[in-house]
Structure 1
Amino acid sequence: MKVTRTATLAGVSIAAMLALAACGNNAEEAAPADATAADASAMAPAPAASGTVVAVAQGNPDFSTLVSAVTAAGLGDTLNGGGPFTVFAPTNAAFEKVPAATRENLMAPAGKADLTKILTYHVVPGRVDAATLTQQIQAGGGSAQLTTVQGGVLTARAGADGSVTLTDAKGGVSRVVQADVAASNGVIHAIDTVVMP
């Protein structure tokens, strides 16, 4: 039962991540050249996704690595799952920061369990939009602890310019580059670095 629950949660988690994939606006492409302006716009809401996560996920080549990861993890059959979930979805550029050998190992059949663990670490149960996350950070005195579907914790912090970062279990930091992409089973925030449990 634990394996089924984990697989279902993983699939639903990835489904929400894939909803971001179909969004036509990639924050990395639209980001201003000035770093301060880019940080200030990091939590600007993005247009809502339409259709199921499966339908919208296949429409954006900027998330092809995420789609490949879902396939390698064998989670395709569960992508229409319920929710709601909040997904911190890495872009292709985020995956490129992971060493090629590590990516290859994770995408191999022997890496399926580790890949699932990483993918579900990007998902938080419930619908946490940018405004709610900002409130949680303020209520936490400058940070909010987010327990993921995988069971680990991400620490969210807000910068003075309104940008939001996530610190993972290994001390790595990722920045939200696009917020509030609506999906039928949750909300998605694009991030610039893969977080690791």
Structure 2
Amino acid sequence: MKRIISLLAVLAVAAAAVGGAGTASAETRASNVDIVQTAVAAGQFTTLASLLQKAGLVDTLATGGPFTVFAPTDAAFAKVPKATLDALAADPAKLKAVLLYHVVPGRVTAADVVKLTSAKTAEGRSLAIKVVNGSVFVDAAQVTTPDVGATNGVIHVIDSVLIPQEATATASKTIVQTAVAAGSFKTLASLLKKAGLVGTLQGKGPFTVFAPTDAAFAKVPKATLASLAKNKAKLRSVLLYHVVKGNVPAAKVVMLRSAKTLNGKAVSIRVNGGNVLVGGARVTTADVKASNGVIHVVNKVLIP
């Protein structure tokens, strides 16, 4: 890390380049500094720089290449559960795999990216790429600043961390246990119990659950909740409308227009302004892993 910090004094030009990355060509910006120097000078990639150091990838990205890096900001890393980051930081091999999942060999500018549907990463797996309403998504992350040039490649800034499911430790808790442990799904847990669905969602699965928080349930009129609580069949129907069979990570969700739920009806899916909307509810946290599936947190209750 001393090497990274020592670069800050001479990299004002790189910081300016990132700040004005909206229009200039990747070949004309930050042409005198490498990828790591450019990221450090920008001031919004301190977590990424620290993790690159822990994984032993600083020299690789500073001297090798050319590379294309989809770089998550500090704000993007702040969305990742602390337990997940701590687990990765404690396992250099898995941390390295996750970081290399953000790196594509070669210089792939935005003009090239928009022509692709996928790109093979230095980690070995491929990223899904999609353009929606003029916005570029890499897996579930949106590119917020493209074509930040460096001497040995190009950086595309993204708003979420890309974590391939296979690269992280297998979750030990089921979907229900994970929701209960989070502490923000008390209403959902209570209603699952009333509907007799706890056993189902603790089963083998896998399941994908769009889980409304307690704040989401607080938006539902009390009379509606009371009515559902008294009618087990309707309650089950509503809750199962939040569940999709199979493990559907965010990278696949953004590729869909709808998904059939265990309720029997299909829920609509669309991407709007960088937000993923499921049946009108916004996904606020994606890819919360469980031993029998995945949870995507939503800000509204889905009522067919």
Higher-strand-fraction structure: 2
3-state secondary structure, aligned to 1:104 = helix
| CA distance 1:79–1:165, shift in 2 (3 Å) | closer
| CA distance 1:54–1:126, shift in 2 (3 Å) | closer
Give the TM-score taking structure 1 as reference length: 0.67
In structure 2, the residue matched to 1:184 is 151
Q: State which structure, 1 or 2, has the greater radius of gyration over its C-alpha atoms.
A: 2
| CA distance 1:79–1:157, shift in 2 (3 Å) | closer
Q: Report 1:14-53 matches (<5 A).
A: 23-24=15-16, 44-45=22-23, 48-49=29-30, 50-53=32-35
In structure 2, the residue matched to 1:95 is 77
- Does the Cα contact within 8 Å between 1:45 and 1:181 map onto a contact in 2? no
Give the C-alpha shift of residue 174 in structure 1: 0.5
| CA distance 1:57–1:130, shift in 2 (3 Å) | closer
Give the C-alpha shift of residue 24 in structure 1: 4.1
3-state secondary structure, aligned to 2:123 = coil
Pick from 157, 167, 173: which aligns with 2:130?
157
Give the C-alpha shift of residue 132 in structure 1: 1.3
Quote the Cα distance in structure 2 between the aligned partners of 1:182 and 1:98.
27
Question: Is 2:161 the partner of 1:194?
Answer: yes
3-state secondary structure, aligned to 2:75 = helix
Pick from 93, 97, 108: which aligns with 1:113?
93
- Does the Cα contact within 8 Å between 1:123 and 1:148 map onto a contact in 2? yes
| CA distance 1:71–1:82, shift in 2 (3 Å) | closer
Greater relative CO, 1 or 2 (CA 8 Å, sep 6+): 1
Give the C-alpha shift of residue 26 in structure 1: 6.4
Quote the Cα distance in structure 2 between the aligned partners of 1:44 and 1:179.
7
AA in 1 matched with 2:118: Q
In structure 2, the residue matched to 1:38 is none
- Aligned CA RMSD, in angstroms, stands at 2.4
Give the C-alpha shift of residue 55 in structure 1: 3.6
Q: Report 1:135-150 matches (<5 A).
A: 136-137=115-116, 144-150=117-123
Give the C-alpha shift of residue 71 in structure 1: 1.5
Unaligned runs of 5+ in 1: 1-18, 31-42, 138-143, 168-172
Give the C-alpha shift of residue 78 in structure 1: 3.2
Unaligned runs of 5+ in 2: 1-10, 165-304
| CA distance 1:122–1:55, shift in 2 (3 Å) | closer
Q: Which runs of 4+ in 1 moved over 6 A?
A: none
Question: Is 2:30 the partner of 1:63?
Answer: no
| CA distance 1:130–1:78, shift in 2 (3 Å) | closer
Give the C-alpha shift of residue 185 in structure 1: 0.8
Give the C-alpha shift of residue 54 in structure 1: 4.2
Higher-helix-fraction structure: 1
Quote the Cα distance in structure 1 between the aligned partners of 2:95 and 2:153.
22
Give deviations 1:1-35, integer Å, cap 9, x for gaps: xxxxxxxxxxxxxxxxxx9xx534767xx9xxxxx
Give the TM-score taking structure 2 as reference length: 0.45
